[in-house]
Structure formats: structure tokens, C-alpha cells
Amino acid sequence: MKTTQSEPVRSEQRTYSKVAECLYRCDSSDVYYALLKKSGKQIRRSLKTSDRKLAERRLAEFKEKVSRLDLTQGKNRIAFNELATLCMNTWRARLKPRSADSRDNSINQLRPFFGAVPVRSITRLQCEQWAEQRSPQVAASTFNCDLESLRAILDYAQREGLIMDNPAKVIIRRPMNKAAITIPTREQFTALIATLRSLDIRYNTAADLVELLAYSGMRKAEANAFRLADVDFKRGSFTVTGGEQGTKNHEARVVPLFPVLQAFLKRLQAESPRQPDKPLIPILDAKKALETACKLNGFPHFTHHCMRHYFVSNALEKGVDFKTIAAWVGHKDGGLLVAKTYGHLRDTHSYEMAKRITL
């Protein structure tokens, strides 16, 4: 880039010398600045370096950001509330209802603070003030959800050319205390099922749902949509579709038909034939039934998701590798989450097996 000298520019009692097109250097600090014009408006920014080569690279990046800006009169004044509504309408079409409701709740918590503020006027300081005010009021998970929504809205604004940078990027997510995983032992699981089936005939269906979760590794929503039509007894497999809502990662998966699950399905058919195209289990949850059975047995509070943990722990004890289990339960990370979450179970099993090695 050809360097040209010009008369110093004075601004805020500082003088700046032009060293190249759109590039200035502060005479007192030697820090380089970018100065551009867009739609008749002057835009200046410190490049935060006194190194000429680095300043030129940052100037090129700054030019690219400015080129994406849309300074149309209407867009220039769009408020946070209006943009949040536009974003929510876009997201609702591709999010599951529960996820959409969660995002909508977060946006409603952001509105009182940012509300009528023009999106272009939102600064990093304002985002930090919001975080300082909001964080002590709510749990870490709620704060992180609100922060994710704020970032997503401002990311949208950046893509649409309303702002150059996302000022909420500097806000750090709060660390979350990971809850201890509660997994029933085989003895506890057997006792739970026996208790459910002995309490009342109405509890038999709850026991069916608990067994389905424990023998398949499916999430509750996936089990709710599971049908006999999803089972291929000849090939020895079943398909997890999640029904109309889909699975958590929006992809159906084909899983081997485990012997214990096959026996369970055939027993259900023998007891009371199911229609292939109807949900296998006619209830959506067994929460109260599980609570009652746990109290009667003096067990910890086991939930639907504990049955998924039970499935994974059994698979680990049988020596199944992390990657295979991840595919079975619908994880897309190749087994990283299974290894991180359940690795200690394999270690415990390994030590138990080691005790059998004697001379």
C-alpha cells in the first residue's frame, strides 16, 4: 500500500498523521487508527497496535466489516424489541416447540433491559451491565440460556449489517454444577418394576414405559412416539424417529434389537396386542408412579432419564465401547459425552473384574 503524507488531523486534543489510505497514526501514542466513510458517515476505530503490518491487516478486516453495514434509514433505527420479534419468528419455524418456548421466555427477560434501545446503540458496557444485574437473580442454566438468546439476536443483527461486531461476545457463560448421576442397580430396577406391577393394574402401563426406557436407551420423548411399526424383527433392529417432533438431533437412527428389548416387546404383544401404527405405550410419563415406587422401597428419586443411564451403564459393564453406545443412544460426538459422563462406571467395573485375576 502506497504511503502518503498529509497534514495532521486534530481530534479530541490529539493529532493524527495519515500514513496510508484510511490509515492514521496517533502522534502521541503511535497507535494506528482506521478512518472510513460509509453512506456519508465517518467511521473511526482504534486498531489497537503500533505495528504497521498488523495495523494494515486489521484495517483490511475493518473495511470488510464496514462494507457489510447497511445504513439504510429504517434499519439504522431498528430497536432491540423489533429485531427480537423478527428473530423469534425465524427461529420458531425450525425449533421444537419446547425449545422455541424456552427461547421466547429468555427474550421476554431481555426486553425490559434492552427494549426500545436501537440495536446499533447497544454497547459492550450495556451487555456487561445486563449480565451484572441478571446473573445474581437466576440460576446458572437460566442465565446461560438468556445469554445465548442475546448473542443469537446480536449475531443476527451482525449478519444483516446492522452492527459490525457482537458486543455480547465478551460476556462469559456461568459455570454449571453438574448434578450427580443417579443410576439404579439391577436389584433396585427389578424391585421397582415388581412394585409398580403389584400396586394397581393402572401402574402396569407405567411399568411398561419404565422397562421400555431401560431396555432401549431412548429418551422419554422418543419412547412416547415409539411404535411396533418401528421394529423390524426379521432384521433384528428398530428405528428411533421421535415421531412428529423428531429426535433431539433431528435425525432418525437405526439401532440393533437387543434381546431383552425383543423379549419385552413380544411379551407386550402376547398380553395385549398393540396396533402397529399407534404409540406402543399409551401414557406420556410415569413420574408419579416412579415417585411412589421409590418411596415404598426407600430408593433415591429415580426419574425417566435415570432409566437411560441404567441402559448405558449396563452396556458399559458388558464391555460395549463408547462409540457404539453413543450411536445407540443418539449422540453425534462419537462417544465423547458417554466417555465423559460414564467413564467412572467403566473404571469401577474394571476394578471389579481385576479382582477375578488370581494365580
Secondary element (H or E) of residue 44: strand 41-46
Going from the C-alpha of 130 to that of each of 80, 124, 133, 190, 280, the distances in angstroms are 14, 10, 5, 50, 47
pLDDT at position 348, please? 63
C-alpha 53 chain-centroid distance: 39
Those residues of the chain that have pLDDT short of 70 are 1-13, 40, 71-76, 343-350, 353, 359
Pick the CATH number of 76-170 from 3.30.470.10, 3.20.20.450, 1.10.150.130, 1.10.220.110: 1.10.150.130
Going from the C-alpha of 248 to that of each of 18, 89, 279, the distances in angstroms are 55, 21, 18
What kind of architecture, by CATH, is found in domain 186-354?
Orthogonal Bundle (1.10)
Q: DSSP letter at 163? A: -
Q: Which of 198, 182, 252 is nearest to 222 (CA)?
A: 252
Could you state, in order of their start, the residue ranges of all structural domains in the chain?
A: 9-68, 76-170, 186-354
Q: What stretches of 204-337 adopt beta strand conformation (E)?
A: 231-232, 237-240, 253-256
Residue pLDDT, tens place only, 182-230: 889 999 999 999 999 998 788 899 999 999 999 999 999 999 999 999 9
What is the crossing angle of helices 304-317 and 336-354, to 10°? Answer: 50
Residue 301 grid coordinates: 428419586
Q: Which of 150, 156, 154 is nearest to 133 (CA)?
A: 150
pLDDT at position 4, please? 43
Query: Residue for cell digits 406402543?
Result: 280
Contact of 309 with 183, CB cutoff 8 Å: yes
pLDDT at position 106, please? 93
pTM here is: 0.63
pLDDT at position 3, please? 41
Q: DSSP letter at 38? A: E
Half-sphere exposure of 95 (CA within 13 A, CB side): 14
